Structure 1
Amino acid sequence: MLESKPWLDLYPKEIPATLEYSREPVQEYLEHAARKFPDRTAIHFMGKEMPYKQLYEEALCVASYLQQSLSIQKDDRVAIMLPNCPQAVISYFGILMAGGIVVQTNPLYTERELEYQMKDSGAIAIITLDILYPRVTKVMPQTNLQHIVVTAIKDYLPFPKNLIYPFIQKKQYGIVVKVTHEGNSHLLSEIIQANSKEIIQHEVNPYEDIALLQYTGGTTGFPKGVMLTHKNLIANTCMSEAWLYKCKPGEESILGILPFFHVYGMTTVMILSIKMACKMILLPKFDALTTLKTIHKQRPTLFPGAPTIYIGLLNHPDLKKYDLSSIDSCISGSAPLPVEIQQKFEEITGGKLVEGYGLSEASPVTHSNFLWDVPRVKGSIGVPYPDTEAMVLSVETGEPMPVGEIGEIVIKGPQIMRGYWNRPRETEEVLKDGWLYTGDLGYMDEKGYFYIVDRKKDMIIAGGFNIYPREIEEVLYEHPDVVEAVAAGVPDPYRGETVKAYIVLKDGSTVTAEEMNTFARKYLASYKAPRLYEFRKELPKTAIGKILRRTLVEEEKQKLEEERKKQA
């Protein structure tokens, strides 16, 4: 049944089993959109709109400056450390137009995390916010970074918000950073104002040339750069467009809350929007009330998201004050979608919300439930996308498992990465004969629907973010009073999972959870830092001394079950 691809029998007639992919680089999508829909709004940001013609021209200005003033050559890495804002889109396409490779960087990264990623990628330039400028300058001497291009949120705000925002920024962050356009510091506003659009057109092989280094821990360990080619990203974008067969190019609006530094938001919001000439309604971060107001006023039709976003909206006390009926289609990813959330959100909006599945190594989407015309299946991640194959293999033997039997899910398709940046051994571990070994355990039913039941490794998914225990433990072990430490994902009703640290302290130590939390947050982004701490005299171990993380997680689940029984 695996060889026969039973899921293809479920496809509506509008979705082909295989697609044709153009042999062009990703940046060509923007040129096509600007030529066909020059006056169509490409981006709406906090009340200000930018048409496709302007977006294309400003991306050209960035490309020209990168080549002529910063000497960016083909395949040089250029990092983007920005929230969702017009500058993030301009920079992304500008880097690709210049022939560079984009390195997506989380603006929440601490100096330690930023230094690691810049060293590993070898990025020679970074585009970032003014308030992040001090953080970047501190790590520059330890990296290959030679240039910082700086922008400010106010630069793309409408009047009078652009005048008010600096005061809000000072109140919120306690600093106002002023950067001058000189030396190795460059202002994006000056680059755009110079209006130079002359670029060297590098020849691009979409099948071989890397467009993006997307950092992920894969299934375990420190973050690795996933090498995604132009073909990978184009394939996944075309697959997503085919899945949304009722949506019309040039007419849709997509709500862009998913961060573009995460591959899910980058593909299903940013690139897909450009491909379909949609209007991107960007929000720099998720705030439930702001999101409700934005939906009410801007009337988006598409809303890719994560369960925590939908949960946050549904639980807001003012939910009923806002009209969400414009929302037609939502695909949820990054974490399991509770059925009750799916049903409630559809009742409120009148649209469709379905669960999908993917991973950074697959650009990212590989599976999804159908939005229309096919009955949904509860608890399933859906079926493979067009041109995507999936199997379930025995963890012990590597042989295909019968229908309904649990094993490791492996995937093959044109969206699968080239490998990990400068890590051939790790690449060989997950890419075998073109198949990506996901590290996720699941099964397929007789119709071809797939289900995830567990993770092969111990990666934590909290609020849609992938968090890797080893990275947290390395930080905890640096505390002088810590003897042993282990981080684990424990159940959380809102985030799906939350990070809990189990710690054994030195004899006589009086360190508190508050002190440990302060220490951890110096070196870890806020979403990675443990929310819970438990101090123990000893941790459960195997006979050879390996700490049993899963035992701790099971203990946590048992405690929750006992509490539920008491309350019942």
Structure 2
Amino acid sequence: MNETADPHWTALYPDGVPPRTQPAAGTINDAWAHRVREAPDATAVTYFDQSLSASDVDSLTGALAVEFQQRGVGPGHAVGIYLQNIPQFALSMLAIWKAGGTALMLNPMYKGKELRNIIDDSGAVGIVCLDRERDGVTETLRGSSVGWTITTSDLDFQSEDDPRVFRSPDRLERTGEDLHSILQRRFGQVPVPPPLTGDSVALLTYTSGTTGPAKGALGTHRNVLTVATGYAQWQDLAPGDVVLAVAPLFHITGAVATAVTALIHPVNLVFINRVRPEVILESFNRHGVTHVIGSITVFNALLDLAHATAAEFATLKYIYSGGAPIPPATVATFQARFGQYIHNVYGMTETASAVIAVPPGSVAPVDPASGTLAIGVPLPNLLARVIGLDGEPVPDGEPGELELSGPQVTPGYLNKPAETAAAIPGGRLRTGDVAIMDAAGWIYLVDRMKDQINVSGYKVWPREVEDALYEHPAVLEAAVVGQPDSYSGEAVVAYVSLKAGEHTTDTELVSFAKERLAAYKYPRRLYILNDLPKTHTGKIQRRELRGLNLKD
């Protein structure tokens, strides 16, 4: 990484170099062991009505790590975790690392070919899944590299069996190959310390990245520790704080910004299984939640709860939202109703999660030209630049591609040297995101480079049109895409969903946008849908909307 002063940075950092914290040293195992030594009896994990101390978690993960090692897991071996947000996800991660292996993050909603493709590419040797998924997983992975399966129940480690969260109150019969039986059998045993370093791969997380099909991004122990320690420092995480696991743990945000960050610090990591807005709301008060990070769709869902009041948010210190852009209007509405400001945070699978964020207690500015809310400023140890097509920094206030470098950035993609070289030339990550950096160092995410719409030669960024639509009081979600047009080349087309109990028409919304946008920017067609298509992490899928051909 270039440590020399860069004039582009002097507005934010007087010497042209971002401030440095102590570089992350050692491994996640070292950080976890330190946490256990410092506060062995402090609560580390809570799942509804039951809690585990740091010492409890250490014993359980040690026992599971022994089992993994007996099954051949060590450096270079990936073990898939195919679970929802339950304690066993965190236990499995820690146990895999204690055994010396790599945790393969698997979306539990993937089925058939989706799951098999990732397993085949990763070469995973085993998988941890829910007991009710065992038969389907076994059939899907027959003949693959996976040699064994360990099952678990999402009804374990709690006794409430909340019907809003669990589909079935039945626990399947123990097989001896289930997690509960293994922990009983291995209780008290400790694994052989593996020969890991900061460069050892801790996480293998699949992403479409900046271009092309899914690729396995390698997250080293150093990558993950740098983000987890930096993000904890950034959000003032203190002993006794409570972190709610809302972001999916199979996603990099949940895995690192939520789980690893909480696990290696003396705080309580609270699980509630699948995301249910009413359960999230209850958990805030019940567990005294102080920190939460989730996608904007989660906070929209909370806004949609008619009975929700500011009282349920009283214990929260900071709310962060990542994964999808936040419209300024949504932030204002949320703060007015609940008294909580939603701080933007930005990261990618290739950066092991959070690397740019709004400082705690700060209000992100809005770019006057685009109307875009700032995603923040770089976290410690990150270099961020906005570059042009020639690879050189663009002037302040000008759009270009966001480029990132630092110990957070992945060394590359599994078995894909060409893709690695294209996306991370010289160790600098080309994000594929169009951004603006102002003279004060704030970074504004304009849009994805591939989503730009060309209307008769004029450039239109979907975000700007979406933000205008979000100003309408009836709009819950908005997505704008370009679709072929015989006259202008591409036409701006918008899709929206409405807040509960609100009513409006497509004509009214088009007129509303027309009053706020240049003539070539406002939507020529607008469709009101019950819901917008989203990824499993809550991002609206514009590509799904591009192919729609709805009749006016």
Whether TM exceeds 0.5 here: the answer is yes
2:420 corresponds to which of 405, 419, 427: 427
Alpha-carbon contact 1:307-1:335 (below 8 Å) kept: yes
Map of 1:3 onto structure 2: 7
Classify the secondary structure of the residue corresponding to 1:447: coil
- Structural mapping, 1:364-379, within 5 Å: 364-372=353-361, 374-378=362-366, 379=373
Map of 1:481 onto structure 2: none
Alpha-carbon contact 1:226-1:360 (below 8 Å) kept: yes
CA distance in 1, matches of 2:480, 2:115: 23
- Structural mapping, 1:448-487, within 5 Å: 448-458=441-451
2:224 corresponds to which of 233, 245, 269: 233
Once the 2 structures are TM-superposed, how far is the Cα of residue 138 of structure 1 from its aligned partner? Answer: 1.2
Classify the secondary structure of the residue corresponding to 2:72: coil
Once the 2 structures are TM-superposed, how far is the Cα of residue 421 of structure 1 from its aligned partner? Answer: 0.5
Once the 2 structures are TM-superposed, how far is the Cα of residue 340 of structure 1 from its aligned partner? Answer: 2.6
CA distance in 2, matches of 1:167, 1:282: 11
Map of 1:180 onto structure 2: 175
1:406 corresponds to which of 392, 399, 417: 399
Classify the secondary structure of the residue corresponding to 1:192: helix
Alpha-carbon contact 1:115-1:142 (below 8 Å) kept: no
Map of 2:193 onto structure 1: 201
When structure 1 is superposed on structure 2, of 320-329 and 406-415 the one drifting more is 320-329
Map of 2:335 onto structure 1: 346
Describe the superposition over 1:224-248 as per-residue Cα deviations: whole angstroms up to 9, x where unpaired. 1000100000111121122123x32
Describe the superposition over 1:115-163 as per-residue Cα deviations: whole angstroms up to 9, x where unpaired. 01100100010011112112211112242111000000122112xx36x
Letter in 2 for 1:421: L
Distance 1:323 1:311, change over 3 A: same
Letter in 2 for 1:3: P
Map of 1:513 onto structure 2: none
CA distance in 1, matches of 2:386, 2:427: 15
Once the 2 structures are TM-superposed, how far is the Cα of residue 282 of structure 1 from its aligned partner? Answer: 1.1
Map of 1:40 onto structure 2: 42
Once the 2 structures are TM-superposed, how far is the Cα of residue 166 of structure 1 from its aligned partner? Answer: 13
Map of 1:283 onto structure 2: 272
Alpha-carbon contact 1:293-1:322 (below 8 Å) kept: no
Describe the superposition over 1:490-531 as per-residue Cα deviations: whole angstroms up to 9, x where unpaired. x9954554999x9xxxxxxxxxxxxxxxxxxxxxxxxxxxxx
Alpha-carbon contact 2:101-2:202 (below 8 Å) kept: yes
Describe the superposition over 1:236-292 as per-residue Cα deviations: whole angstroms up to 9, x where unpaired. 1121122123x32x2211111111111111111111112221111112111111111
Map of 1:127 onto structure 2: 128
CA distance in 2, matches of 1:168, 1:439: 39
When structure 1 is superposed on structure 2, of 75-84 and 340-349 the one drifting more is 340-349
CA distance in 1, matches of 2:166, 2:291: 30
Distance 1:7 1:37, change over 3 A: farther
Once the 2 structures are TM-superposed, how far is the Cα of residue 170 of structure 1 from its aligned partner? Answer: 3.7
Classify the secondary structure of the residue corresponding to 1:276: coil
Distance 1:155 1:540, change over 3 A: same
- Structural mapping, 1:288-327, within 5 Å: 288-320=277-309, 323-327=312-316
Map of 2:529 onto structure 1: none
Classify the secondary structure of the residue corresponding to 2:441: coil
Distance 1:77 1:277, change over 3 A: same
Classify the secondary structure of the residue corresponding to 2:167: helix
CA distance in 1, matches of 2:479, 2:146: 35
Classify the secondary structure of the residue corresponding to 1:62: helix
1:67 aligns with 2:69: yes
Alpha-carbon contact 2:296-2:326 (below 8 Å) kept: yes
Letter in 1 for 2:79: V
CA distance in 2, matches of 1:541, 1:26: 56
Classify the secondary structure of the residue corresponding to 2:418: helix
Normalised TM-score (structure 2): 0.79
Q: Which has the higher helix share?
A: 1
Alpha-carbon contact 2:258-2:293 (below 8 Å) kept: yes
CA distance in 2, matches of 1:353, 1:321: 14
Alpha-carbon contact 1:8-1:17 (below 8 Å) kept: no
Map of 2:386 onto structure 1: 392
Letter in 2 for 1:411: L
Identify unmatched segments of 5+ residues in structure 1.
Answer: 460-490, 503-538, 543-547
- Structural mapping, 1:80-95, within 5 Å: 80-95=81-96
CA distance in 1, matches of 2:178, 2:379: 42
1:190 aligns with 2:181: yes
Classify the secondary structure of the residue corresponding to 2:403: strand
1:564 aligns with 2:509: yes
Distance 1:327 1:344, change over 3 A: farther
CA distance in 2, matches of 1:297, 1:187: 31
2:376 corresponds to which of 379, 382, 390: 382
Alpha-carbon contact 2:385-2:403 (below 8 Å) kept: yes
CA distance in 2, matches of 1:361, 1:383: 18
Once the 2 structures are TM-superposed, how far is the Cα of residue 23 of structure 1 from its aligned partner? Answer: 2.2
Alpha-carbon contact 1:254-1:281 (below 8 Å) kept: yes
Aligned residues: 473
Letter in 1 for 2:444: Y
CA distance in 2, matches of 1:376, 1:154: 41
Map of 1:156 onto structure 2: 157
Once the 2 structures are TM-superposed, how far is the Cα of residue 220 of structure 1 from its aligned partner? Answer: 2.7
CA distance in 1, matches of 2:490, 2:304: 33
Alpha-carbon contact 1:328-1:352 (below 8 Å) kept: no
1:169 corresponds to which of 167, 173, 178: 167
CA distance in 1, matches of 2:320, 2:164: 35
Letter in 2 for 1:217: S
CA distance in 2, matches of 1:497, 1:107: 26
Letter in 2 for 1:58: L
Identify unmatched segments of 5+ residues in structure 2.
Answer: 367-372, 453-468, 497-504, 516-552
Alpha-carbon contact 1:215-1:223 (below 8 Å) kept: yes
CA distance in 2, matches of 1:365, 1:316: 28
Letter in 1 for 2:290: T
Distance 1:85 1:495, change over 3 A: farther
Alpha-carbon contact 2:247-2:294 (below 8 Å) kept: yes
Once the 2 structures are TM-superposed, how far is the Cα of residue 365 of structure 1 from its aligned partner? Answer: 1.7
Letter in 2 for 1:431: I
When structure 1 is superposed on structure 2, of 111-120 and 331-340 the one drifting more is 331-340
Letter in 2 for 1:115: R
Once the 2 structures are TM-superposed, how far is the Cα of residue 344 of structure 1 from its aligned partner? Answer: 3.2
- Structural mapping, 1:261-272, within 5 Å: 261-272=250-261
Letter in 2 for 1:391: R
Classify the secondary structure of the residue corresponding to 2:25: coil
CA distance in 1, matches of 2:115, 2:480: 23
Classify the secondary structure of the residue corresponding to 2:309: helix
Once the 2 structures are TM-superposed, how far is the Cα of residue 178 of structure 1 from its aligned partner? Answer: 4.1
CA distance in 2, matches of 1:82, 1:62: 16
Classify the secondary structure of the residue corresponding to 1:402: coil
CA distance in 1, matches of 2:11, 2:111: 44
Once the 2 structures are TM-superposed, how far is the Cα of residue 165 of structure 1 from its aligned partner? Answer: 7.2
Map of 2:463 onto structure 1: none
Distance 1:321 1:365, change over 3 A: closer
Distance 1:358 1:197, change over 3 A: same
CA distance in 1, matches of 2:7, 2:411: 24
CA distance in 1, matches of 2:94, 2:445: 35
Describe the superposition over 1:86-115 as per-residue Cα deviations: whole angstroms up to 9, x where unpaired. 111110000000000110001111111100
Distance 1:232 1:118, change over 3 A: same
Report percent identity of matched pairs: 25
CA distance in 1, matches of 2:299, 2:55: 33
Letter in 2 for 1:380: A
When structure 1 is superposed on structure 2, of 53-62 and 288-297 the one drifting more is 288-297
2:490 corresponds to which of 551, 560, 564: 551
Classify the secondary structure of the residue corresponding to 1:323: helix
When structure 1 is superposed on structure 2, of 344-353 and 359-368 the one drifting more is 344-353
1:216 corresponds to which of 187, 207, 220: 207
